[in-house]
Structure 1
């Protein structure tokens, strides 16, 4: 796509507010999760999102194998690479669900607001010196620190934290996430109109 990935987009537009892109990604995931049966994306991250030159986000990089063979698990060959976006329950069962997509969405939101991959300062695997790996950090409820981004509000950060809750059942649905993000975008737009008038 002419605009490139989400990573490319925010490298070119460092001052851009990621909220409008997050709303579009949340809407796309909600659409997938509302299908019968639900479609699990399984690989949500900034490099899976393409952004057009007109600022429209497209969610790609699916693994459609489960639709062809629902009894088979997702392609686990990509799991090591995706570990930084992967929910804690997947370290045990490698089971994907709508709630694992919600967890990955929170990591994607962190990625957009920080400009870094999740756990950028932690090795993928444990080091001999006893340094914790990404998996050990996620399994023990370790989460990235809040990025210092001017447009990252307290309400949005609270939503991100809710999405990466350690317990899958405690995470909101993507429908709820999309609604909450849309409300935050509306409030931000209203505030901008008030300050410019």
Structure 2
């Protein structure tokens, strides 16, 4: 076997060092930008109490949908009300979202049963209790607009005496829809900036 020439040894060492340097640089580059998708950390695990509450909410919501498909609006309303009574872990943002989603559906059910004022109270309570803007808050404003439209229709049915009130309710409906649009546009902008 021939001894290795010094030039070959230097070339191999230089190649090995270069490969190591490139590999280390690639690892440094990969670590610096924030990843859009990341592996869950043990601290990210959703606790069991939250999972149970979310599961219960999902089941009550599904029951309500089945009752609605059967035309049993009273039972659907009862099922949705049960979502509002669920206990969530303190500070869980999901709790607000679930409750606001339930309030929106409950308000629609109430309007369909001619309980327009109770529907408005349901939406107003949800908006008052919301701590942050979200799709679900925007949806409450949309449902609020629908309730104002229902009030306008009822005022229109009164004929001449209800015309002024009907016009005012339509203005309020537009304001509620505009607020929903504002929230959604703001959320879309935030999401686009995060990309």
With normalisation by structure 1, the TM-score equals 0.29
Name the structure where helix makes up a greater proportion of residues. 2
* Higher RCO (CA < 8 A, seq sep 6+): 1
Q: Find the structure with the greater CA-based Rg.
A: 2
